[in-house]
A and B are shown apart, each in its own frame.
Chain A
Amino acid sequence: MSKAEAKPENQFEPKIIAFLCNWCTYAGADLAGTGRKEYQANVRIIKLPCTGGIDPLFLIKAFERGADGILVSGCHPGDCHYNSGNYHARRRWNVFRPLLEFCGINPDRIQFSWISAAEGGKWVETINGIVDAVRELGPFESYQKLNTIGPETTGEATAASGETG
Protein backbone atom coordinates (compact mmCIF):
# COMPACT_ATOMS: atom_id res chain seq x y z
CA MET A 1 0.00 0.00 0.00
CA SER A 2 3.00 2.29 -0.20
CA LYS A 3 2.63 5.55 -1.97
CA ALA A 4 2.75 5.49 -5.70
CA GLU A 5 4.90 8.56 -6.17
CA ALA A 6 8.60 8.04 -6.77
CA LYS A 7 10.69 7.75 -3.66
CA PRO A 8 14.05 9.46 -3.45
CA GLU A 9 16.62 6.83 -4.22
CA ASN A 10 18.34 5.08 -1.32
CA GLN A 11 15.89 6.60 1.06
CA PHE A 12 16.12 4.95 4.43
CA GLU A 13 13.02 2.91 5.19
CA PRO A 14 12.66 2.55 8.96
CA LYS A 15 11.26 -0.57 10.52
CA ILE A 16 8.44 0.37 12.84
CA ILE A 17 6.88 -2.12 15.21
CA ALA A 18 3.39 -1.27 16.41
CA PHE A 19 1.98 -2.92 19.51
CA LEU A 20 -1.77 -2.49 19.26
CA CYS A 21 -4.68 -3.40 21.40
CA ASN A 22 -7.17 -5.66 19.76
CA TRP A 23 -10.27 -3.62 20.51
CA CYS A 24 -9.50 -0.07 19.47
CA THR A 25 -6.34 0.70 17.57
CA TYR A 26 -6.19 -2.58 15.70
CA ALA A 27 -9.78 -2.05 14.64
CA GLY A 28 -8.86 1.53 13.72
CA ALA A 29 -6.03 0.28 11.52
CA ASP A 30 -8.43 -2.20 9.98
CA LEU A 31 -10.84 0.59 9.25
CA ALA A 32 -8.10 2.54 7.51
CA GLY A 33 -7.55 -0.54 5.37
CA THR A 34 -11.15 -1.20 4.47
CA GLY A 35 -11.49 2.51 3.76
CA ARG A 36 -8.58 2.13 1.30
CA LYS A 37 -6.62 4.85 2.99
CA GLU A 38 -2.96 4.91 2.09
CA TYR A 39 -0.12 5.14 4.56
CA GLN A 40 3.53 4.29 4.53
CA ALA A 41 4.22 0.58 4.58
CA ASN A 42 6.95 0.57 7.21
CA VAL A 43 4.92 -0.75 10.05
CA ARG A 44 4.65 -4.30 11.35
CA ILE A 45 1.71 -4.77 13.64
CA ILE A 46 1.64 -6.95 16.71
CA LYS A 47 -1.87 -7.36 18.00
CA LEU A 48 -2.40 -7.86 21.71
CA PRO A 49 -5.53 -7.94 23.83
CA CYS A 50 -4.83 -4.73 25.72
CA THR A 51 -2.16 -2.08 26.18
CA GLY A 52 -2.29 -3.00 29.84
CA GLY A 53 -0.59 -6.28 28.94
CA ILE A 54 2.32 -4.77 27.09
CA ASP A 55 5.45 -5.34 29.09
CA PRO A 56 8.21 -2.79 28.54
CA LEU A 57 10.41 -5.75 27.67
CA PHE A 58 8.40 -6.12 24.45
CA LEU A 59 9.82 -2.76 23.44
CA ILE A 60 13.35 -3.71 24.36
CA LYS A 61 13.00 -6.96 22.44
CA ALA A 62 11.75 -5.08 19.40
CA PHE A 63 14.81 -2.85 19.44
CA GLU A 64 17.05 -5.88 19.92
CA ARG A 65 15.52 -7.47 16.85
CA GLY A 66 16.11 -4.44 14.71
CA ALA A 67 13.23 -2.00 15.14
CA ASP A 68 14.08 1.61 14.38
CA GLY A 69 10.95 2.90 16.02
CA ILE A 70 8.05 1.64 18.09
CA LEU A 71 4.42 2.63 18.43
CA VAL A 72 2.26 1.57 21.32
CA SER A 73 -1.39 2.33 20.83
CA GLY A 74 -4.69 1.46 22.44
CA CYS A 75 -8.13 2.67 23.43
CA HIS A 76 -8.73 6.21 24.61
CA PRO A 77 -8.85 6.68 28.37
CA GLY A 78 -12.24 5.55 29.55
CA ASP A 79 -12.77 3.23 26.60
CA CYS A 80 -10.70 0.24 27.64
CA HIS A 81 -12.44 -3.03 26.88
CA TYR A 82 -11.13 -4.29 30.23
CA ASN A 83 -12.05 -1.05 32.01
CA SER A 84 -8.65 0.16 33.17
CA GLY A 85 -5.85 -1.60 31.23
CA ASN A 86 -4.88 1.53 29.37
CA TYR A 87 -4.73 3.60 32.56
CA HIS A 88 -2.26 1.15 34.03
CA ALA A 89 -0.31 1.17 30.80
CA ARG A 90 -0.17 4.95 30.89
CA ARG A 91 1.42 4.84 34.34
CA ARG A 92 4.03 2.45 33.08
CA TRP A 93 4.97 4.51 30.06
CA ASN A 94 5.11 7.60 32.23
CA VAL A 95 8.13 6.12 33.98
CA PHE A 96 9.55 3.85 31.31
CA ARG A 97 9.88 6.45 28.58
CA PRO A 98 11.91 8.86 30.74
CA LEU A 99 14.09 5.94 31.81
CA LEU A 100 14.97 5.09 28.21
CA GLU A 101 15.54 8.74 27.49
CA PHE A 102 17.85 8.91 30.49
CA CYS A 103 19.84 6.02 29.01
CA GLY A 104 20.28 7.90 25.77
CA ILE A 105 17.46 6.56 23.60
CA ASN A 106 15.71 9.25 21.59
CA PRO A 107 12.11 9.37 22.84
CA ASP A 108 10.88 9.95 19.30
CA ARG A 109 11.71 6.34 18.60
CA ILE A 110 8.99 5.23 20.99
CA GLN A 111 5.60 6.81 20.53
CA PHE A 112 2.29 6.32 22.22
CA SER A 113 -1.19 7.06 21.04
CA TRP A 114 -4.85 6.46 21.70
CA ILE A 115 -6.70 5.53 18.51
CA SER A 116 -10.25 4.27 18.58
CA ALA A 117 -11.93 1.81 16.23
CA ALA A 118 -13.51 4.75 14.46
CA GLU A 119 -10.31 6.71 13.91
CA GLY A 120 -8.91 5.25 10.70
CA GLY A 121 -7.76 8.73 9.75
CA LYS A 122 -5.85 9.22 12.97
CA TRP A 123 -4.15 5.86 12.40
CA VAL A 124 -2.91 6.98 9.01
CA GLU A 125 -1.68 10.28 10.41
CA THR A 126 0.04 8.64 13.35
CA ILE A 127 1.84 6.09 11.24
CA ASN A 128 2.97 8.61 8.68
CA GLY A 129 4.09 10.84 11.52
CA ILE A 130 6.24 8.22 13.23
CA VAL A 131 7.67 6.89 9.98
CA ASP A 132 8.74 10.38 8.96
CA ALA A 133 10.13 11.16 12.38
CA VAL A 134 12.15 7.97 12.55
CA ARG A 135 13.32 8.30 8.98
CA GLU A 136 14.67 11.67 9.98
CA LEU A 137 16.51 10.10 12.92
CA GLY A 138 17.99 7.40 10.72
CA PRO A 139 18.54 3.73 11.46
CA PHE A 140 18.91 2.86 15.14
CA GLU A 141 22.48 1.85 14.62
CA SER A 142 23.70 2.37 18.12
CA TYR A 143 21.26 -0.22 19.40
CA GLN A 144 21.86 -2.65 16.56
CA LYS A 145 25.58 -2.50 17.17
CA LEU A 146 24.94 -4.03 20.56
CA ASN A 147 24.11 -7.23 18.75
CA THR A 148 27.66 -8.09 17.89
CA ILE A 149 29.25 -10.65 20.12
CA GLY A 150 32.83 -10.81 19.14
CA PRO A 151 36.22 -10.19 20.62
CA GLU A 152 35.18 -6.56 20.93
CA THR A 153 32.45 -7.36 23.41
CA THR A 154 34.12 -10.13 25.32
CA GLY A 155 36.86 -10.16 27.90
CA GLU A 156 38.93 -7.49 26.34
CA ALA A 157 36.19 -4.96 26.72
CA THR A 158 35.00 -6.16 30.10
CA ALA A 159 36.68 -3.45 32.01
CA ALA A 160 34.81 -0.50 30.69
CA SER A 161 36.86 0.38 27.71
CA GLY A 162 33.70 2.02 26.45
CA GLU A 163 34.16 0.74 22.95
CA THR A 164 30.98 -1.23 22.88
CA GLY A 165 28.56 1.65 22.31
Chain B
Amino acid sequence: MIEELRKKAEELLKNDTVKVVFGYGEGSVPERTRPVFITKPEDVNKLTWNKYCVYNLTTYLKRQETRKLGKPAIIVKGCDARTIIVLLKECQIKREDVYILGVTCDGVGDPLATKCESCDVHTPRIYDDLVGEKKENKEVPFEERYAELDEYEKLGEKEKWEFWQKQFSKCIKCYACSNMCPLCFCDRCIVEKNQPQWIDSSAHARGNLSWNVTRAYHLAGRCINCEECQRVCPVDIPLNLLNKKLAKEAEKNFDYRPGYSVDDELAMSTYKEEDSQEFFK
Protein backbone atom coordinates (compact mmCIF):
# COMPACT_ATOMS: atom_id res chain seq x y z
CA MET B 1 0.00 0.00 0.00
CA ILE B 2 2.89 2.33 0.74
CA GLU B 3 4.18 1.80 -2.78
CA GLU B 4 0.78 2.55 -4.23
CA LEU B 5 0.55 5.74 -2.18
CA ARG B 6 3.97 6.89 -3.30
CA LYS B 7 3.16 6.13 -6.91
CA LYS B 8 -0.06 8.10 -6.74
CA ALA B 9 1.68 11.01 -5.07
CA GLU B 10 4.44 11.01 -7.62
CA GLU B 11 1.95 11.00 -10.45
CA LEU B 12 -0.03 13.89 -9.00
CA LEU B 13 3.06 15.99 -8.51
CA LYS B 14 4.54 15.10 -11.89
CA ASN B 15 1.47 15.96 -13.90
CA ASP B 16 1.01 19.08 -11.82
CA THR B 17 -2.45 18.16 -10.56
CA VAL B 18 -1.25 19.33 -7.16
CA LYS B 19 1.68 21.31 -5.79
CA VAL B 20 2.08 19.42 -2.56
CA VAL B 21 1.06 16.15 -0.94
CA PHE B 22 0.12 16.19 2.75
CA GLY B 23 1.05 12.77 4.06
CA TYR B 24 2.64 10.75 6.81
CA GLY B 25 6.36 10.31 7.15
CA GLU B 26 8.63 8.52 9.55
CA GLY B 27 8.72 10.03 13.02
CA SER B 28 11.29 10.53 15.76
CA VAL B 29 10.78 7.00 17.00
CA PRO B 30 9.30 3.92 15.32
CA GLU B 31 6.08 4.34 17.31
CA ARG B 32 5.46 7.74 15.80
CA THR B 33 4.88 9.22 12.41
CA ARG B 34 4.87 12.87 11.51
CA PRO B 35 3.16 15.05 8.96
CA VAL B 36 5.21 15.58 5.82
CA PHE B 37 4.63 17.95 2.95
CA ILE B 38 6.00 16.57 -0.27
CA THR B 39 6.54 19.10 -3.01
CA LYS B 40 8.97 17.24 -5.29
CA PRO B 41 8.22 13.96 -7.06
CA GLU B 42 11.63 12.62 -6.07
CA ASP B 43 10.72 12.95 -2.39
CA VAL B 44 7.70 10.67 -2.44
CA ASN B 45 9.55 7.84 -0.75
CA LYS B 46 9.37 9.91 2.41
CA LEU B 47 5.72 8.88 2.56
CA THR B 48 4.75 6.03 4.78
CA TRP B 49 1.62 4.29 5.99
CA ASN B 50 1.21 2.27 9.19
CA LYS B 51 -0.87 2.03 12.34
CA TYR B 52 0.87 5.07 13.81
CA CYS B 53 -0.65 7.38 11.21
CA VAL B 54 -2.93 8.93 13.79
CA TYR B 55 -2.85 12.53 12.57
CA ASN B 56 -5.85 14.09 10.98
CA LEU B 57 -3.91 15.93 8.31
CA THR B 58 -6.89 18.06 7.31
CA THR B 59 -5.86 20.43 10.09
CA TYR B 60 -3.13 21.68 7.76
CA LEU B 61 -5.80 22.99 5.41
CA LYS B 62 -6.39 25.80 7.87
CA ARG B 63 -2.79 26.83 8.45
CA GLN B 64 -1.41 29.65 6.35
CA GLU B 65 2.07 28.08 6.37
CA THR B 66 0.87 24.95 4.63
CA ARG B 67 -1.79 26.65 2.52
CA LYS B 68 1.01 28.70 1.03
CA LEU B 69 2.47 25.55 -0.50
CA GLY B 70 -0.24 25.48 -3.17
CA LYS B 71 -3.02 23.07 -4.06
CA PRO B 72 -2.67 19.96 -1.93
CA ALA B 73 -3.41 16.32 -2.31
CA ILE B 74 -4.24 15.17 1.15
CA ILE B 75 -4.05 11.65 2.49
CA VAL B 76 -7.15 10.90 4.54
CA LYS B 77 -8.47 7.97 6.50
CA GLY B 78 -12.20 7.49 6.70
CA CYS B 79 -12.55 9.58 9.83
CA ASP B 80 -10.38 12.36 8.40
CA ALA B 81 -12.52 12.36 5.28
CA ARG B 82 -15.49 13.22 7.46
CA THR B 83 -13.65 16.42 8.36
CA ILE B 84 -13.38 17.30 4.70
CA ILE B 85 -17.13 16.97 4.36
CA VAL B 86 -17.67 19.33 7.28
CA LEU B 87 -15.08 21.79 5.97
CA LEU B 88 -16.78 21.81 2.60
CA LYS B 89 -20.17 22.41 4.14
CA GLU B 90 -18.81 25.17 6.32
CA CYS B 91 -17.27 26.84 3.27
CA GLN B 92 -13.70 26.52 4.52
CA ILE B 93 -12.47 24.83 1.38
CA LYS B 94 -13.68 24.45 -2.15
CA ARG B 95 -13.97 20.96 -3.51
CA GLU B 96 -11.77 21.76 -6.50
CA ASP B 97 -9.04 23.14 -4.26
CA VAL B 98 -8.11 19.83 -2.67
CA TYR B 99 -7.31 16.49 -4.12
CA ILE B 100 -8.49 13.82 -1.72
CA LEU B 101 -6.32 10.76 -1.56
CA GLY B 102 -8.36 8.35 0.51
CA VAL B 103 -6.83 5.34 2.22
CA THR B 104 -8.78 2.40 3.53
CA CYS B 105 -7.98 1.77 7.11
CA ASP B 106 -8.24 -1.00 9.71
CA GLY B 107 -7.54 1.27 12.62
CA VAL B 108 -4.68 3.25 14.07
CA GLY B 109 -2.96 3.65 17.40
CA ASP B 110 -1.31 1.24 19.73
CA PRO B 111 -3.40 0.22 21.58
CA LEU B 112 -6.14 0.68 19.00
CA ALA B 113 -7.77 4.11 19.26
CA THR B 114 -11.27 4.13 20.76
CA LYS B 115 -12.69 5.68 17.60
CA CYS B 116 -11.51 2.71 15.60
CA GLU B 117 -13.39 0.23 17.76
CA SER B 118 -16.68 1.59 16.51
CA CYS B 119 -15.56 2.81 13.12
CA ASP B 120 -18.07 2.83 10.27
CA VAL B 121 -15.87 4.62 7.77
CA HIS B 122 -13.06 2.15 7.10
CA THR B 123 -13.45 3.26 3.52
CA PRO B 124 -13.61 7.07 3.26
CA ARG B 125 -16.94 8.47 2.16
CA ILE B 126 -15.39 11.09 -0.05
CA TYR B 127 -12.26 10.87 -2.20
CA ASP B 128 -10.82 11.51 -5.63
CA ASP B 129 -8.72 8.42 -5.53
CA LEU B 130 -8.68 5.48 -3.19
CA VAL B 131 -5.62 3.58 -2.11
CA GLY B 132 -6.00 0.17 -0.51
CA GLU B 133 -8.62 -2.48 -0.83
CA LYS B 134 -12.17 -1.28 -0.41
CA LYS B 135 -13.64 -2.27 2.95
CA GLU B 136 -17.21 -2.59 4.01
CA ASN B 137 -18.49 0.28 6.14
CA LYS B 138 -20.63 -1.69 8.56
CA GLU B 139 -23.13 0.28 10.56
CA VAL B 140 -22.51 0.38 14.28
CA PRO B 141 -25.55 0.73 16.55
CA PHE B 142 -26.05 3.96 18.50
CA GLU B 143 -25.51 2.38 21.92
CA GLU B 144 -22.24 0.85 20.90
CA ARG B 145 -20.91 4.07 19.48
CA TYR B 146 -21.47 5.93 22.71
CA ALA B 147 -20.80 3.04 25.10
CA GLU B 148 -17.71 4.84 26.36
CA LEU B 149 -19.94 7.43 28.00
CA ASP B 150 -22.04 5.06 30.06
CA GLU B 151 -19.86 4.84 33.12
CA TYR B 152 -19.57 8.63 33.31
CA GLU B 153 -23.22 9.39 32.68
CA LYS B 154 -24.08 7.03 35.52
CA LEU B 155 -22.13 9.05 38.07
CA GLY B 156 -23.95 11.27 40.53
CA GLU B 157 -23.86 15.04 40.23
CA LYS B 158 -21.12 15.40 42.81
CA GLU B 159 -18.95 12.64 41.37
CA LYS B 160 -19.28 14.15 37.93
CA TRP B 161 -18.25 17.54 39.21
CA GLU B 162 -15.28 16.12 41.08
CA PHE B 163 -14.17 14.00 38.18
CA TRP B 164 -14.17 16.93 35.77
CA GLN B 165 -12.67 19.37 38.23
CA LYS B 166 -9.80 16.98 38.72
CA GLN B 167 -9.37 16.68 34.97
CA PHE B 168 -9.74 20.38 34.20
CA SER B 169 -7.39 21.37 37.00
CA LYS B 170 -4.61 19.75 35.00
CA CYS B 171 -5.17 22.01 31.99
CA ILE B 172 -2.21 24.28 31.31
CA LYS B 173 -4.01 26.34 28.62
CA CYS B 174 -1.59 25.44 25.88
CA TYR B 175 -4.45 25.24 23.36
CA ALA B 176 -2.93 22.24 21.65
CA CYS B 177 -6.45 20.80 21.59
CA SER B 178 -7.91 23.62 19.57
CA ASN B 179 -4.83 24.23 17.45
CA MET B 180 -4.76 20.61 16.39
CA CYS B 181 -8.47 20.40 15.73
CA PRO B 182 -9.14 20.79 12.01
CA LEU B 183 -12.54 22.24 12.80
CA CYS B 184 -11.29 24.90 15.22
CA PHE B 185 -10.45 27.29 12.46
CA CYS B 186 -11.33 30.75 13.76
CA ASP B 187 -8.57 33.24 13.04
CA ARG B 188 -9.02 34.51 16.49
CA CYS B 189 -10.38 32.12 19.09
CA ILE B 190 -12.88 33.42 21.64
CA VAL B 191 -10.30 32.66 24.33
CA GLU B 192 -7.96 35.19 22.76
CA LYS B 193 -10.50 37.98 22.91
CA ASN B 194 -10.29 40.32 25.84
CA GLN B 195 -12.74 43.11 25.14
CA PRO B 196 -14.51 41.73 27.10
CA GLN B 197 -12.57 38.82 28.48
CA TRP B 198 -15.09 36.04 27.96
CA ILE B 199 -12.82 33.28 29.10
CA ASP B 200 -10.09 33.93 31.63
CA SER B 201 -6.74 33.29 30.08
CA SER B 202 -5.44 31.99 33.40
CA ALA B 203 -5.13 28.27 33.84
CA HIS B 204 -7.00 28.34 37.13
CA ALA B 205 -10.09 26.39 38.04
CA ARG B 206 -12.54 29.01 36.82
CA GLY B 207 -10.75 29.70 33.55
CA ASN B 208 -10.19 26.03 32.85
CA LEU B 209 -13.84 25.13 33.27
CA SER B 210 -15.10 27.83 30.95
CA TRP B 211 -12.39 27.06 28.42
CA ASN B 212 -12.94 23.32 28.30
CA VAL B 213 -16.72 23.60 28.21
CA THR B 214 -16.63 26.26 25.51
CA ARG B 215 -14.13 24.47 23.32
CA ALA B 216 -16.25 21.35 23.39
CA TYR B 217 -19.47 23.27 22.83
CA HIS B 218 -18.09 25.06 19.79
CA LEU B 219 -17.67 21.65 18.20
CA ALA B 220 -21.22 20.52 18.96
CA GLY B 221 -22.76 18.88 15.93
CA ARG B 222 -19.47 19.42 14.09
CA CYS B 223 -16.86 17.23 15.79
CA ILE B 224 -16.16 14.16 13.70
CA ASN B 225 -14.50 12.27 16.51
CA CYS B 226 -10.97 12.06 15.16
CA GLU B 227 -9.75 12.14 18.76
CA GLU B 228 -6.86 14.39 17.85
CA CYS B 229 -7.57 16.91 20.60
CA GLN B 230 -7.37 14.23 23.22
CA ARG B 231 -4.27 12.67 21.72
CA VAL B 232 -2.35 15.94 21.78
CA CYS B 233 -3.40 17.15 25.23
CA PRO B 234 -0.12 17.13 27.13
CA VAL B 235 -1.84 16.55 30.45
CA ASP B 236 -4.11 13.79 29.24
CA ILE B 237 -7.55 15.28 29.80
CA PRO B 238 -10.20 12.94 28.33
CA LEU B 239 -11.57 15.63 26.02
CA ASN B 240 -13.12 13.02 23.85
CA LEU B 241 -15.73 12.28 26.48
CA LEU B 242 -17.00 15.84 26.20
CA ASN B 243 -17.01 15.74 22.41
CA LYS B 244 -18.77 12.41 22.42
CA LYS B 245 -21.38 13.57 24.86
CA LEU B 246 -22.23 16.45 22.55
CA ALA B 247 -22.23 14.21 19.51
CA LYS B 248 -24.60 11.89 21.29
CA GLU B 249 -26.99 14.70 22.17
CA ALA B 250 -26.85 16.06 18.62
CA GLU B 251 -27.63 12.65 17.23
CA LYS B 252 -30.35 11.91 19.75
CA ASN B 253 -32.06 15.28 19.47
CA PHE B 254 -31.51 16.19 15.83
CA ASP B 255 -30.81 12.84 14.28
CA TYR B 256 -27.60 14.34 12.93
CA ARG B 257 -24.07 13.01 12.50
CA PRO B 258 -21.56 15.37 10.91
CA GLY B 259 -19.36 14.38 8.03
CA TYR B 260 -21.52 11.70 6.46
CA SER B 261 -23.10 13.61 3.66
CA VAL B 262 -22.35 16.79 1.74
CA ASP B 263 -26.05 17.35 1.15
CA ASP B 264 -27.51 17.47 4.65
CA GLU B 265 -27.99 20.61 6.72
CA LEU B 266 -25.52 21.45 9.46
CA ALA B 267 -27.06 20.65 12.83
CA MET B 268 -26.37 23.95 14.50
CA SER B 269 -27.27 26.23 11.65
CA THR B 270 -30.70 24.85 11.09
CA TYR B 271 -33.69 23.75 13.18
CA LYS B 272 -36.87 21.81 12.97
CA GLU B 273 -40.16 23.04 14.34
CA GLU B 274 -40.62 19.72 16.04
CA ASP B 275 -37.24 19.80 17.82
CA SER B 276 -37.40 18.47 21.34
CA GLN B 277 -38.24 20.93 24.11
CA GLU B 278 -38.73 18.51 26.94
CA PHE B 279 -37.16 20.73 29.53
CA PHE B 280 -38.69 24.03 28.43
CA LYS B 281 -41.35 25.39 30.71
- Determine whether A and B are in direct contact in the complex, meaning some CB atoms lie less than 8 angstroms apart: yes
Query: Interface residues, chain A, CB within 8 Å of chain B?
Result: 56-57, 60-61, 64, 77-78, 84, 87-88, 90-107, 111-114, 126, 129, 142, 145-149, 153-154, 157-162, 164-165
Shortest distance between the CB of B154 and any CB in chain A (Å):
11
Complex: chain A residue closest to B155, CB-CB: A104
Complex: chain B residue closest to A152, CB-CB: B205
Contact B198 A61 (CB under 8 A): yes
Please name all residues of chain B whose beta carbon is closer than 8 Å to the beta carbon of A103 when the two chains form the complex: 160-161, 164, 209, 213, 242
Known: A102-B152, A103-B160. 5 other contacts (CB 8 A): A60-B214, A94-B254, A111-B281, A126-B281, A165-B205
Docked complex Cα distance between A92 and B210 (Å): 17
A-B residue pairs in contact (CB < 8 Å), sample of 17: A77-B277, A78-B273, A87-B275, A90-B277, A95-B221, A99-B217, A103-B209, A104-B164, A105-B157, A105-B161, A146-B205, A146-B206, A147-B206, A157-B169, A158-B169, A162-B166, A164-B165
List 3 tightest A-B contacts by C-beta distance, closest first: A104-B161, A104-B160, A165-B165
Docked complex Cα distance between A96 and B62 (Å): 27
Contact B167 A107 (CB under 8 A): no
Contact B162 A165 (CB under 8 A): yes
Q: Number of contacting residues on B, CB 8 A?
A: 53
Interface string of B135-179 (1 = CB under 8 A from A): 000000000000000001100011111111111011010000000
Complex: chain B residue closest to A159, CB-CB: B170
Docked complex Cα distance between A26 and B147 (Å): 42
Shortest distance between the CB of A26 and any CB in chain B (Å):
16
Shortest distance between the CB of A113 and any CB in chain B (Å):
4
Q: Identify the interface centre among B267, B272, B273, B277: most chain A CB within 10 Å of its CB.
A: B277
Stretch among B5-13, B88-96, B244-252 lining the A interface? B244-252
Interface of B is mostly: helix
* Residues A162 and B157 in contact in the complex (CB < 8 Å), given A57-B199, A60-B210, A112-B279: no
Docked complex Cα distance between A57 and B170 (Å): 22
Contact A90 B275 (CB under 8 A): yes
- B190 in the interface (beta carbon within 8 A): yes
Query: Interface residues, chain B, CB within 8 Å of chain A?
Result: 152-153, 157-167, 169-170, 172, 190, 198-199, 202-206, 209-210, 213-214, 216-217, 220-221, 235, 241-242, 245-246, 249-250, 253-254, 267-268, 270-273, 275-277, 279-281
Complex: chain B residue closest to A64, CB-CB: B206
Contact A57 B161 (CB under 8 A): no
Please name all residues of chain B whose beta carbon is closer than 8 Å to the beta carbon of A126 when the two chains form the complex: 281
Please name all residues of chain B whose beta carbon is closer than 8 Å to the beta carbon of A61 when the two chains form the complex: 198, 210
Shortest distance between the CB of B165 and any CB in chain A (Å):
4
Docked complex Cα distance between A92 and B214 (Å): 12
Interface of A is mostly: helix
Shortest distance between the CB of A25 and any CB in chain B (Å):
11
Shortest distance between the CB of B242 and any CB in chain A (Å):
7
Please name all residues of chain B whose beta carbon is closer than 8 Å to the beta carbon of A142 when the two chains form the complex: 161
Q: Identify the interface centre among A61, A98, A113, A142: most chain B CB within 10 Å of its CB.
A: A98
Please name all residues of chain A whose beta carbon is closer than 8 Å to the beta carbon of B268 when the two chains form the complex: 91-92
| Of the residues A99, A145, A159, contact of B246 by C-beta under 8 Å | A99
Q: Identify the interface centre among A64, A103, A129, A158: most chain B CB within 10 Å of its CB.
A: A103
Contact A99 B216 (CB under 8 A): yes
Shortest distance between the CB of A70 and any CB in chain B (Å):
13
Shortest distance between the CB of A110 and any CB in chain B (Å):
9
Docked complex Cα distance between A100 and B217 (Å): 10
* Residues A112 and B271 in contact in the complex (CB < 8 Å), given A60-B214, A102-B153, A102-B242: no
Shortest distance between the CB of B219 and any CB in chain A (Å):
10
